[in-house]
Amino acid sequence: MSINASWKRRTMLAFACGVAITATPLAAQVPPAPPVPGKIKANKFTSGAAKKNTPVVSTKTKEKVHQLVDRIYESEVELSVQQRHSKILKMKMDVFRVAIADPTKIEVVAFGAQEVEVIGKETGTTTMTLWLGQEANPQILSVQVKVEGDNSIEDLRRMEYGEFQKMINEFFPNSKIQLIPFADKLIVRGQARDEQEATQIITIIRARSGGGSAIGTGNGTGSLFANGEAADPFPDGAVLPEATVIDMMKVPGEKQVMLKVRIAQIDRSAARTASTDLFVRSGDFGWSQLFTGVASQLANGGTGLVTASLTSSDVDLFISALAQNGYAKILAEPNLVTISGRAANFISGGEFAVPTVVGVGGAQAATTTFKGFGTQLSFLPTVLDKDRIRLQVTPTFSTVNPALSVQGILGIDTQSVSTTVDMREGQVFAIAGLIQEQQRGDLNRVPFIGDLPFVGPLFSNKAVSRDETELIILISPELVHPMEAEDAPTVLPGMEVTEPGDWDFFFLNNIEGKPDVHHRSTVWYMQKKRIHQQQKDFIHQTKSDKYYINGDYGFSD
Protein backbone atom coordinates (compact mmCIF):
# COMPACT_ATOMS: atom_id res chain seq x y z
CA MET A 1 0.00 0.00 0.00
CA SER A 2 1.41 3.43 -0.91
CA ILE A 3 1.62 6.30 1.59
CA ASN A 4 0.60 9.77 0.49
CA ALA A 5 0.84 13.18 2.14
CA SER A 6 -2.44 12.74 3.96
CA TRP A 7 -1.26 9.87 6.15
CA LYS A 8 -0.21 12.30 8.88
CA ARG A 9 -3.80 13.37 9.38
CA ARG A 10 -4.71 9.75 9.95
CA THR A 11 -2.30 9.24 12.86
CA MET A 12 -3.75 8.08 16.11
CA LEU A 13 -2.59 8.23 19.71
CA ALA A 14 -1.18 5.05 21.15
CA PHE A 15 -3.37 3.36 23.76
CA ALA A 16 -1.80 4.11 27.17
CA CYS A 17 -2.68 2.45 30.48
CA GLY A 18 -0.02 4.07 32.67
CA VAL A 19 2.48 1.24 32.05
CA ALA A 20 5.07 0.47 29.41
CA ILE A 21 3.67 -0.97 26.19
CA THR A 22 4.60 -4.59 25.58
CA ALA A 23 4.07 -7.16 22.88
CA THR A 24 2.78 -9.64 25.44
CA PRO A 25 -0.97 -10.29 25.78
CA LEU A 26 -3.34 -8.76 28.28
CA ALA A 27 -1.82 -7.62 31.58
CA ALA A 28 -3.09 -4.18 32.55
CA GLN A 29 -3.27 -3.87 36.34
CA VAL A 30 -5.77 -6.75 36.36
CA PRO A 31 -5.07 -10.10 38.01
CA PRO A 32 -4.82 -12.88 35.43
CA ALA A 33 -8.07 -14.60 34.50
CA PRO A 34 -8.45 -18.20 33.43
CA PRO A 35 -6.84 -18.78 30.02
CA VAL A 36 -9.06 -18.09 27.04
CA PRO A 37 -8.76 -20.53 24.12
CA GLY A 38 -6.51 -19.15 21.41
CA LYS A 39 -4.94 -16.50 23.68
CA ILE A 40 -1.56 -16.33 25.36
CA LYS A 41 -1.40 -15.89 29.12
CA ALA A 42 -0.13 -12.44 30.16
CA ASN A 43 2.87 -11.93 32.45
CA LYS A 44 2.47 -10.18 35.79
CA PHE A 45 4.18 -6.84 36.10
CA THR A 46 2.96 -5.40 39.41
CA SER A 47 4.80 -6.14 42.62
CA GLY A 48 5.61 -4.64 46.04
CA ALA A 49 3.99 -1.27 46.67
CA ALA A 50 2.21 -1.40 43.31
CA LYS A 51 0.32 -4.48 44.42
CA LYS A 52 -0.65 -2.81 47.68
CA ASN A 53 -1.98 0.27 45.86
CA THR A 54 -3.84 -1.74 43.17
CA PRO A 55 -7.60 -1.35 43.67
CA VAL A 56 -9.71 -4.44 44.07
CA VAL A 57 -11.33 -5.27 40.74
CA SER A 58 -14.57 -7.20 40.62
CA THR A 59 -14.96 -10.38 38.59
CA LYS A 60 -17.40 -8.66 36.26
CA THR A 61 -14.86 -5.91 35.49
CA LYS A 62 -12.14 -8.50 34.83
CA GLU A 63 -14.31 -10.32 32.32
CA LYS A 64 -15.20 -7.02 30.60
CA VAL A 65 -11.51 -6.05 30.24
CA HIS A 66 -10.63 -9.48 28.80
CA GLN A 67 -13.46 -9.18 26.33
CA LEU A 68 -12.52 -5.66 25.11
CA VAL A 69 -8.69 -5.60 25.29
CA ASP A 70 -6.89 -8.06 23.09
CA ARG A 71 -3.24 -7.04 23.46
CA ILE A 72 -1.07 -4.23 24.88
CA TYR A 73 2.21 -3.40 23.16
CA GLU A 74 5.34 -1.86 24.67
CA SER A 75 8.60 -0.71 23.10
CA GLU A 76 10.37 -3.61 21.49
CA VAL A 77 13.41 -1.85 20.11
CA GLU A 78 15.39 1.31 20.95
CA LEU A 79 16.59 3.82 18.36
CA SER A 80 19.08 6.62 19.04
CA VAL A 81 19.28 9.77 16.90
CA GLN A 82 21.22 12.99 17.42
CA GLN A 83 19.59 16.39 17.61
CA ARG A 84 19.33 18.03 14.17
CA HIS A 85 20.24 14.68 12.56
CA SER A 86 18.13 11.85 11.13
CA LYS A 87 18.05 8.14 10.48
CA ILE A 88 16.14 6.25 7.76
CA LEU A 89 14.32 3.03 8.54
CA LYS A 90 13.79 0.70 5.55
CA MET A 91 11.01 -1.71 6.42
CA LYS A 92 10.25 -5.10 4.84
CA MET A 93 6.54 -4.37 4.82
CA ASP A 94 4.47 -1.35 3.80
CA VAL A 95 3.87 1.28 6.47
CA PHE A 96 0.38 2.72 6.41
CA ARG A 97 0.16 4.51 9.80
CA VAL A 98 2.57 6.19 12.24
CA ALA A 99 1.91 7.58 15.73
CA ILE A 100 4.32 9.74 17.80
CA ALA A 101 3.83 10.15 21.55
CA ASP A 102 5.68 13.51 21.73
CA PRO A 103 5.92 15.31 18.38
CA THR A 104 8.23 17.97 19.89
CA LYS A 105 11.03 15.41 20.20
CA ILE A 106 11.07 13.86 16.73
CA GLU A 107 9.56 14.30 13.29
CA VAL A 108 8.78 11.45 10.88
CA VAL A 109 8.91 11.80 7.08
CA ALA A 110 7.85 8.97 4.74
CA PHE A 111 9.65 8.20 1.48
CA GLY A 112 7.57 5.67 -0.40
CA ALA A 113 5.73 2.86 1.31
CA GLN A 114 8.65 1.15 3.08
CA GLU A 115 11.06 4.00 3.99
CA VAL A 116 10.64 6.26 7.03
CA GLU A 117 13.03 9.05 8.12
CA VAL A 118 13.24 9.92 11.85
CA ILE A 119 14.54 13.47 12.52
CA GLY A 120 15.70 14.50 16.02
CA LYS A 121 14.28 17.86 17.13
CA GLU A 122 14.75 18.21 20.90
CA THR A 123 16.73 16.11 23.34
CA GLY A 124 14.68 13.57 25.22
CA THR A 125 12.86 10.26 24.77
CA THR A 126 9.57 9.42 23.09
CA THR A 127 7.74 6.47 21.54
CA MET A 128 7.04 5.91 17.83
CA THR A 129 4.50 3.26 16.77
CA LEU A 130 4.36 1.84 13.22
CA TRP A 131 1.52 -0.09 11.60
CA LEU A 132 2.80 -2.37 8.80
CA GLY A 133 1.29 -4.81 6.32
CA GLN A 134 -2.41 -4.92 5.56
CA GLU A 135 -4.95 -2.82 7.44
CA ALA A 136 -7.13 -5.87 7.95
CA ASN A 137 -4.32 -7.79 9.66
CA PRO A 138 -1.62 -5.25 10.64
CA GLN A 139 1.74 -5.82 12.27
CA ILE A 140 2.47 -3.28 15.01
CA LEU A 141 6.02 -2.21 15.91
CA SER A 142 6.69 0.11 18.88
CA VAL A 143 10.07 1.91 18.86
CA GLN A 144 11.56 3.93 21.73
CA VAL A 145 13.41 6.87 20.18
CA LYS A 146 16.11 8.62 22.22
CA VAL A 147 17.23 12.03 20.94
CA GLU A 148 20.77 12.87 22.04
CA GLY A 149 22.55 16.21 21.99
CA ASP A 150 24.45 17.27 18.91
CA ASN A 151 28.12 16.95 19.74
CA SER A 152 29.10 18.98 16.70
CA ILE A 153 27.20 22.02 18.05
CA GLU A 154 28.91 21.71 21.43
CA ASP A 155 32.32 21.43 19.76
CA LEU A 156 31.50 24.47 17.65
CA ARG A 157 30.44 26.46 20.73
CA ARG A 158 33.68 25.62 22.54
CA MET A 159 35.75 26.58 19.53
CA GLU A 160 33.90 29.83 18.83
CA TYR A 161 33.82 30.96 22.46
CA GLY A 162 37.49 30.01 22.76
CA GLU A 163 38.30 32.45 19.94
CA PHE A 164 35.99 34.99 21.56
CA GLN A 165 37.87 34.56 24.84
CA LYS A 166 41.21 35.27 23.14
CA MET A 167 39.83 38.44 21.57
CA ILE A 168 38.54 39.77 24.89
CA ASN A 169 41.83 39.03 26.66
CA GLU A 170 43.64 40.95 23.91
CA PHE A 171 41.33 43.94 24.29
CA PHE A 172 41.78 43.96 28.09
CA PRO A 173 45.37 42.91 28.82
CA ASN A 174 45.07 43.83 32.51
CA SER A 175 42.19 41.38 32.98
CA LYS A 176 42.10 37.63 32.56
CA ILE A 177 38.81 35.87 31.81
CA GLN A 178 37.68 32.41 30.77
CA LEU A 179 34.49 31.55 28.85
CA ILE A 180 33.04 28.11 29.61
CA PRO A 181 29.96 27.03 27.61
CA PHE A 182 27.90 24.49 29.50
CA ALA A 183 24.48 23.30 28.32
CA ASP A 184 22.46 26.50 27.81
CA LYS A 185 24.76 28.54 30.09
CA LEU A 186 27.90 30.58 29.46
CA ILE A 187 30.05 30.83 32.57
CA VAL A 188 32.38 33.85 32.74
CA ARG A 189 35.26 33.27 35.15
CA GLY A 190 38.44 35.14 35.89
CA GLN A 191 39.61 38.43 37.35
CA ALA A 192 39.02 41.95 36.09
CA ARG A 193 41.32 44.87 36.74
CA ASP A 194 38.54 47.02 38.20
CA GLU A 195 34.79 47.46 38.18
CA GLN A 196 34.87 49.55 35.00
CA GLU A 197 36.62 46.85 32.97
CA ALA A 198 34.33 44.20 34.45
CA THR A 199 31.34 46.22 33.24
CA GLN A 200 32.81 46.60 29.76
CA ILE A 201 33.64 42.89 29.47
CA ILE A 202 30.14 41.77 30.46
CA THR A 203 28.62 44.39 28.16
CA ILE A 204 30.54 42.87 25.24
CA ILE A 205 29.55 39.32 26.18
CA ARG A 206 25.86 39.90 26.83
CA ALA A 207 23.30 39.70 24.03
CA ARG A 208 22.43 42.31 21.49
CA SER A 209 18.73 42.67 22.40
CA GLY A 210 17.48 39.28 23.57
CA GLY A 211 15.74 38.40 26.79
CA GLY A 212 17.11 36.23 29.55
CA SER A 213 19.19 37.25 32.50
CA ALA A 214 22.81 37.91 33.32
CA ILE A 215 23.30 36.20 36.66
CA GLY A 216 26.01 37.94 38.70
CA THR A 217 27.78 35.95 41.41
CA GLY A 218 31.05 37.83 41.43
CA ASN A 219 32.41 40.23 44.00
CA GLY A 220 29.71 42.87 43.93
CA THR A 221 29.62 43.18 40.14
CA GLY A 222 26.27 41.60 39.36
CA SER A 223 24.22 44.72 40.01
CA LEU A 224 26.15 46.73 37.42
CA PHE A 225 25.28 44.66 34.36
CA ALA A 226 22.13 44.72 32.28
CA ASN A 227 20.22 41.56 31.54
CA GLY A 228 20.82 39.69 28.30
CA GLU A 229 21.78 36.50 26.52
CA ALA A 230 25.31 35.61 25.49
CA ALA A 231 26.26 37.37 22.27
CA ASP A 232 27.10 35.47 19.12
CA PRO A 233 30.87 36.00 18.78
CA PHE A 234 30.80 35.57 15.01
CA PRO A 235 27.43 36.76 13.65
CA ASP A 236 28.43 36.08 10.05
CA GLY A 237 29.28 32.48 10.78
CA ALA A 238 27.26 29.67 12.30
CA VAL A 239 24.41 30.76 14.57
CA LEU A 240 25.03 29.35 18.05
CA PRO A 241 22.24 28.51 20.50
CA GLU A 242 21.43 31.27 23.00
CA ALA A 243 23.06 30.93 26.40
CA THR A 244 22.39 32.66 29.71
CA VAL A 245 25.45 34.50 31.05
CA ILE A 246 26.56 33.56 34.57
CA ASP A 247 29.04 36.12 35.86
CA MET A 248 31.65 34.64 38.20
CA MET A 249 34.32 37.29 37.69
CA LYS A 250 36.13 38.73 40.67
CA VAL A 251 37.53 42.21 41.14
CA PRO A 252 40.47 42.52 43.58
CA GLY A 253 40.87 45.24 46.17
CA GLU A 254 38.81 46.73 48.95
CA LYS A 255 35.09 46.91 48.20
CA GLN A 256 33.83 48.57 51.40
CA VAL A 257 33.43 52.33 51.17
CA MET A 258 32.99 54.70 54.10
CA LEU A 259 31.49 58.07 53.27
CA LYS A 260 32.25 60.99 55.54
CA VAL A 261 29.75 63.84 55.25
CA ARG A 262 29.98 67.16 57.06
CA ILE A 263 27.03 69.53 57.06
CA ALA A 264 27.79 72.97 58.52
CA GLN A 265 25.28 75.79 58.73
CA ILE A 266 25.11 79.02 60.69
CA ASP A 267 22.24 81.50 60.79
CA ARG A 268 22.79 85.03 62.08
CA SER A 269 20.06 87.57 62.67
CA ALA A 270 19.94 91.15 63.91
CA ALA A 271 17.00 93.48 64.48
CA ARG A 272 16.62 97.05 65.76
CA THR A 273 13.36 98.80 66.53
CA ALA A 274 12.50 102.25 67.90
CA SER A 275 9.06 103.66 68.50
CA THR A 276 7.34 106.49 70.34
CA ASP A 277 3.76 106.62 71.63
CA LEU A 278 2.40 110.01 72.69
CA PHE A 279 -0.80 110.97 74.53
CA VAL A 280 -1.68 114.66 75.03
CA ARG A 281 -4.79 115.82 76.86
CA SER A 282 -5.78 119.41 77.54
CA GLY A 283 -9.31 119.99 78.56
CA ASP A 284 -11.59 118.84 75.83
CA PHE A 285 -8.66 118.61 73.40
CA GLY A 286 -6.81 115.31 72.97
CA TRP A 287 -3.89 114.07 70.86
CA SER A 288 -2.75 110.50 70.56
CA GLN A 289 0.00 108.86 68.50
CA LEU A 290 0.17 105.06 68.64
CA PHE A 291 2.50 102.94 66.50
CA THR A 292 3.22 99.75 68.40
CA GLY A 293 0.98 99.73 71.41
CA VAL A 294 3.91 100.21 73.76
CA ALA A 295 1.65 100.96 76.69
CA SER A 296 -0.02 97.54 76.45
CA GLN A 297 3.34 95.86 75.91
CA LEU A 298 4.77 97.41 79.03
CA ALA A 299 1.68 96.45 80.99
CA ASN A 300 2.15 92.85 79.87
CA GLY A 301 5.87 92.82 80.53
CA GLY A 302 7.42 94.08 77.28
CA THR A 303 10.92 93.14 76.16
CA GLY A 304 12.34 96.52 75.20
CA LEU A 305 15.94 97.00 76.20
CA VAL A 306 15.51 100.75 76.52
CA THR A 307 12.12 101.95 77.70
CA ALA A 308 11.18 105.37 78.99
CA SER A 309 7.86 106.64 80.32
CA LEU A 310 7.35 110.33 80.96
CA THR A 311 3.95 111.14 82.44
CA SER A 312 2.18 114.18 83.72
CA SER A 313 -1.41 115.11 84.26
CA ASP A 314 -1.77 116.17 80.62
CA VAL A 315 1.03 114.36 78.66
CA ASP A 316 1.93 110.67 78.47
CA LEU A 317 5.05 109.80 76.47
CA PHE A 318 6.26 106.24 75.87
CA ILE A 319 9.62 105.64 74.18
CA SER A 320 10.71 102.09 73.30
CA ALA A 321 13.97 100.93 71.69
CA LEU A 322 15.13 97.39 71.07
CA ALA A 323 18.26 95.88 69.54
CA GLN A 324 18.70 92.12 69.32
CA ASN A 325 21.25 89.74 67.81
CA GLY A 326 21.03 85.97 67.53
CA TYR A 327 22.62 83.02 65.79
CA ALA A 328 21.98 79.33 65.25
CA LYS A 329 24.75 76.82 64.54
CA ILE A 330 24.27 73.39 62.96
CA LEU A 331 27.04 70.84 62.54
CA ALA A 332 26.35 67.23 61.53
CA GLU A 333 28.95 64.62 60.63
CA PRO A 334 27.25 61.34 59.62
CA ASN A 335 29.53 58.46 58.56
CA LEU A 336 28.21 55.42 56.71
CA VAL A 337 29.86 52.23 55.40
CA THR A 338 28.64 49.93 52.61
CA ILE A 339 30.09 47.70 49.89
CA SER A 340 30.57 48.74 46.30
CA GLY A 341 27.38 48.65 44.26
CA ARG A 342 25.00 48.57 47.24
CA ALA A 343 22.97 51.51 48.52
CA ALA A 344 23.04 52.58 52.19
CA ASN A 345 20.74 54.86 54.18
CA PHE A 346 21.22 56.67 57.48
CA ILE A 347 18.86 58.77 59.59
CA SER A 348 19.39 60.40 62.96
CA GLY A 349 16.40 62.39 64.10
CA GLY A 350 12.74 61.51 64.36
CA GLU A 351 9.43 61.18 62.58
CA PHE A 352 6.04 62.80 63.01
CA ALA A 353 2.66 61.54 61.86
CA VAL A 354 0.92 62.98 58.81
CA PRO A 355 -2.75 61.91 58.56
CA THR A 356 -4.14 61.32 55.08
CA VAL A 357 -7.80 60.91 54.14
CA VAL A 358 -8.51 58.63 51.20
CA GLY A 359 -11.81 57.92 49.47
CA VAL A 360 -14.84 60.07 48.79
CA GLY A 361 -18.22 60.52 50.38
CA GLY A 362 -19.16 57.92 52.94
CA ALA A 363 -16.30 55.63 51.89
CA GLN A 364 -13.59 57.81 53.37
CA ALA A 365 -10.86 56.33 55.53
CA ALA A 366 -7.95 57.89 57.36
CA THR A 367 -4.41 56.59 57.05
CA THR A 368 -1.23 57.77 58.68
CA THR A 369 2.20 58.21 57.17
CA PHE A 370 5.35 59.35 58.93
CA LYS A 371 7.67 62.11 57.78
CA GLY A 372 11.24 62.00 58.96
CA PHE A 373 13.42 64.90 60.04
CA GLY A 374 16.96 65.30 61.27
CA THR A 375 20.18 64.21 59.60
CA GLN A 376 19.59 61.80 56.71
CA LEU A 377 22.09 60.31 54.29
CA SER A 378 21.66 58.00 51.31
CA PHE A 379 24.50 57.06 48.97
CA LEU A 380 25.42 54.44 46.38
CA PRO A 381 29.19 53.95 45.85
CA THR A 382 30.81 52.18 42.91
CA VAL A 383 34.56 51.47 42.93
CA LEU A 384 35.66 52.13 39.35
CA ASP A 385 39.42 51.92 39.73
CA LYS A 386 41.92 51.13 42.43
CA ASP A 387 41.02 54.29 44.33
CA ARG A 388 38.48 56.02 42.08
CA ILE A 389 34.93 55.95 43.42
CA ARG A 390 31.69 57.07 41.83
CA LEU A 391 29.22 58.38 44.40
CA GLN A 392 25.51 58.91 44.06
CA VAL A 393 24.84 60.77 47.30
CA THR A 394 21.80 62.48 48.83
CA PRO A 395 22.45 64.23 52.16
CA THR A 396 19.52 65.95 53.90
CA PHE A 397 19.26 68.00 57.08
CA SER A 398 15.85 69.10 58.30
CA THR A 399 14.38 70.64 61.45
CA VAL A 400 10.81 71.01 62.63
CA ASN A 401 9.36 74.50 62.15
CA PRO A 402 5.99 75.03 63.91
CA ALA A 403 5.53 78.27 61.99
CA LEU A 404 4.98 76.24 58.82
CA SER A 405 2.21 74.14 60.35
CA VAL A 406 -0.90 73.49 58.26
CA GLN A 407 -4.04 72.23 60.01
CA GLY A 408 -2.01 70.97 62.93
CA ILE A 409 0.57 69.19 60.76
CA LEU A 410 4.09 70.38 61.45
CA GLY A 411 6.31 71.84 58.77
CA ILE A 412 10.04 71.34 58.36
CA ASP A 413 13.00 73.43 57.20
CA THR A 414 15.09 71.30 54.86
CA GLN A 415 18.54 71.57 53.35
CA SER A 416 19.05 68.78 50.82
CA VAL A 417 21.12 67.96 47.75
CA SER A 418 21.26 64.98 45.36
CA THR A 419 24.16 64.52 42.96
CA THR A 420 26.65 62.06 41.45
CA VAL A 421 30.41 62.69 41.48
CA ASP A 422 33.65 60.82 40.76
CA MET A 423 36.35 61.11 43.42
CA ARG A 424 39.60 59.57 44.49
CA GLU A 425 39.92 58.01 47.92
CA GLY A 426 40.45 60.62 50.63
CA GLN A 427 39.57 63.61 48.45
CA VAL A 428 37.09 66.15 49.79
CA PHE A 429 34.37 67.56 47.59
CA ALA A 430 32.00 70.43 48.38
CA ILE A 431 28.79 69.23 46.75
CA ALA A 432 26.64 72.13 47.97
CA GLY A 433 27.07 75.64 49.33
CA LEU A 434 24.76 78.50 50.21
CA ILE A 435 25.29 82.13 51.19
CA GLN A 436 22.01 83.92 51.71
CA GLU A 437 21.35 87.44 53.01
CA GLN A 438 17.99 89.04 53.75
CA GLN A 439 17.51 92.62 54.92
CA ARG A 440 14.30 94.43 55.71
CA GLY A 441 13.48 97.95 56.92
CA ASP A 442 10.16 99.53 57.97
CA LEU A 443 9.43 103.18 58.81
CA ASN A 444 6.14 104.54 60.05
CA ARG A 445 5.86 108.29 60.87
CA VAL A 446 3.49 111.19 61.28
CA PRO A 447 3.35 113.23 58.08
CA PHE A 448 5.49 116.36 58.00
CA ILE A 449 6.35 116.26 61.69
CA GLY A 450 8.00 112.85 61.43
CA ASP A 451 10.29 114.13 58.64
CA LEU A 452 11.80 116.88 60.76
CA PRO A 453 15.34 116.26 62.07
CA PHE A 454 15.81 115.67 65.79
CA VAL A 455 12.08 116.00 66.38
CA GLY A 456 11.04 113.41 63.81
CA PRO A 457 12.11 110.33 65.88
CA LEU A 458 9.53 111.29 68.49
CA PHE A 459 6.79 110.94 65.87
CA SER A 460 7.93 107.76 64.06
CA ASN A 461 8.31 104.03 64.38
CA LYS A 462 11.14 102.28 62.56
CA ALA A 463 12.59 98.77 62.42
CA VAL A 464 15.54 97.20 60.61
CA SER A 465 16.26 93.44 60.45
CA ARG A 466 18.95 91.38 58.72
CA ASP A 467 19.35 87.61 58.31
CA GLU A 468 22.46 85.81 57.06
CA THR A 469 22.70 82.09 56.30
CA GLU A 470 25.84 80.13 55.39
CA LEU A 471 25.65 76.44 54.45
CA ILE A 472 28.23 73.99 53.10
CA ILE A 473 28.15 70.22 52.60
CA LEU A 474 31.45 68.34 52.27
CA ILE A 475 31.89 64.66 51.40
CA SER A 476 34.96 62.44 51.48
CA PRO A 477 35.01 58.70 50.55
CA GLU A 478 37.47 56.16 51.95
CA LEU A 479 38.10 52.49 51.22
CA VAL A 480 38.02 50.63 54.52
CA HIS A 481 38.24 47.11 55.89
CA PRO A 482 36.98 45.66 59.18
CA MET A 483 39.05 46.29 62.31
CA GLU A 484 40.62 43.51 64.27
CA ALA A 485 39.32 42.85 67.75
CA GLU A 486 42.36 44.41 69.42
CA ASP A 487 41.99 47.58 67.32
CA ALA A 488 38.39 48.27 68.31
CA PRO A 489 37.93 51.21 70.72
CA THR A 490 37.38 50.19 74.32
CA VAL A 491 35.70 53.43 75.47
CA LEU A 492 32.57 54.36 73.55
CA PRO A 493 30.54 57.59 73.83
CA GLY A 494 28.57 57.62 77.05
CA MET A 495 30.52 54.85 78.81
CA GLU A 496 32.19 57.36 81.15
CA VAL A 497 28.89 58.94 82.23
CA THR A 498 27.80 57.41 85.54
CA GLU A 499 25.04 58.00 88.04
CA PRO A 500 25.92 60.18 91.05
CA GLY A 501 25.83 58.81 94.57
CA ASP A 502 23.58 60.16 97.30
CA TRP A 503 26.26 62.49 98.67
CA ASP A 504 27.11 63.91 95.20
CA PHE A 505 23.45 64.31 94.25
CA PHE A 506 21.85 65.69 97.42
CA PHE A 507 24.72 67.70 98.90
CA LEU A 508 27.13 68.54 96.03
CA ASN A 509 24.34 69.17 93.49
CA ASN A 510 25.88 66.97 90.79
CA ILE A 511 23.80 65.09 88.21
CA GLU A 512 26.74 63.01 86.90
CA GLY A 513 28.90 60.74 89.00
CA LYS A 514 32.62 60.06 88.92
CA PRO A 515 33.80 58.02 85.88
CA ASP A 516 35.39 55.33 88.07
CA VAL A 517 32.49 54.98 90.53
CA HIS A 518 29.50 53.00 89.25
CA HIS A 519 26.69 53.87 91.63
CA ARG A 520 23.30 52.24 90.97
CA SER A 521 20.37 53.75 92.79
CA THR A 522 18.14 50.83 91.73
CA VAL A 523 20.08 48.33 93.90
CA TRP A 524 22.00 50.61 96.26
CA TYR A 525 19.45 50.27 99.07
CA MET A 526 19.74 46.46 99.18
CA GLN A 527 23.50 46.58 98.62
CA LYS A 528 23.88 48.97 101.53
CA LYS A 529 21.98 46.55 103.78
CA ARG A 530 24.25 43.69 102.66
CA ILE A 531 27.36 45.71 103.38
CA HIS A 532 26.00 46.61 106.83
CA GLN A 533 25.25 42.94 107.52
CA GLN A 534 28.77 41.93 106.40
CA GLN A 535 30.24 44.51 108.77
CA LYS A 536 28.15 43.11 111.65
CA ASP A 537 29.27 39.56 110.78
CA PHE A 538 32.91 40.68 110.72
CA ILE A 539 32.61 42.31 114.14
CA HIS A 540 30.94 39.17 115.54
CA GLN A 541 33.72 36.96 114.09
CA THR A 542 36.39 39.20 115.59
CA LYS A 543 34.81 38.90 119.03
CA SER A 544 34.53 35.10 118.66
CA ASP A 545 38.26 34.79 117.95
CA LYS A 546 38.92 35.91 121.53
CA TYR A 547 37.10 32.85 122.90
CA TYR A 548 37.97 30.16 120.35
CA ILE A 549 41.34 29.06 119.02
CA ASN A 550 41.46 28.10 115.36
CA GLY A 551 44.44 25.90 114.45
CA ASP A 552 45.67 22.66 112.87
CA TYR A 553 43.89 20.59 115.49
CA GLY A 554 40.41 22.09 115.03
CA PHE A 555 38.39 24.22 117.40
CA SER A 556 38.97 24.17 121.15
CA ASP A 557 36.41 24.89 123.84
- What is the per-residue pLDDT across 68-95, written as a single tens digit (0 to 9) for each? 888 888 888 899 998 888 899 998 898 8
Cβ contact 366:356 at 8 Å: yes
* 99 has a pLDDT exceeding 60: yes
Among 28-32, 121-125, 137-141, 220-224, the range scoring the smallest mean pLDDT is 220-224
pLDDT on residue 44: 38
Q: pLDDT, tens digit, for every residue of 266-279?
A: 889 999 888 877 77
Mean pLDDT of 117-127: 90
Residues 6+ away with beta carbon under 8 Å from 160: 233, 234, 237, 238, 240
435 vs 170: CA distance, rounded Å: 53
Q: pLDDT, tens digit, for every residue of 28-49?
A: 333 444 443 333 333 433 444 4
Looking at the DSSP bridge assignments, the partners of residue 555 are 550
* 445 has a pLDDT exceeding 60: yes
189-201 burial code (b ≥16 CB/10 A, e <16) = ebbbbbbbbbbeb
Mean pLDDT of 227-254: 62
- Going by pLDDT thresholds of 50, 70 and 90, the confidence category of residue 486 is confident
pLDDT on residue 101: 92
Same fold, 71-149 and 152-211+231-250: no
Q: pLDDT, tens digit, for every residue of 12-31?
A: 333 333 333 333 333 333 34
413 vs 120: CA distance, rounded Å: 72
Beta strand 335-339 with 256-282: parallel, antiparallel or unpaired? antiparallel
Cβ contact 126:102 at 8 Å: yes
Q: pLDDT, tens digit, for every residue of 404-420?
A: 888 778 888 888 889 99
- Going by pLDDT thresholds of 50, 70 and 90, the confidence category of residue 265 is confident
* SS3 label, residue 481: coil
Single-letter code of the amino acid located at 312: S
What separation in angstroms does the CA of 126 have from each of 122, 372, 437, 472? 10, 64, 84, 74
pLDDT on residue 466: 92
Domain range annotation of the chain: 71-149, 152-211+231-250, 484-544
What separation in angstroms does the CA of 9 have from each of 3, 16, 96, 138? 12, 20, 12, 19
- CA-nearest of 168, 164, 185 to 176 is 168
Residues 6+ away with beta carbon under 8 Å from 75: 20, 21, 127, 142, 143, 144
* 126 has a pLDDT exceeding 90: yes
pLDDT on residue 313: 64
Q: Following DSSP, what letter does each residue of 417-438 receive, concatenated?
A: --EEEEEETT--EEEEEEEEEE
pLDDT on residue 150: 76
* 372 has a pLDDT exceeding 70: yes
Residues 6+ away with beta carbon under 8 Å from 475: 259, 260, 261, 262, 391, 393, 395, 421, 423, 428, 429, 431
- Going by pLDDT thresholds of 50, 70 and 90, the confidence category of residue 356 is confident
Q: How many CB atoms lie within 10 A of CB 423?
A: 17
* SS3 label, residue 517: coil
Q: Which of 177-181, 207-211, 319-323 has the highest mean pLDDT?
A: 177-181
pLDDT on residue 157: 81
Domain 71-149 class?
Answer: mainly beta
CATH number of 152-211+231-250: 3.30.70
* 295 has a pLDDT exceeding 60: no
For 343, list phi and psi in degrees, rounded to 5.
Answer: -80, 155
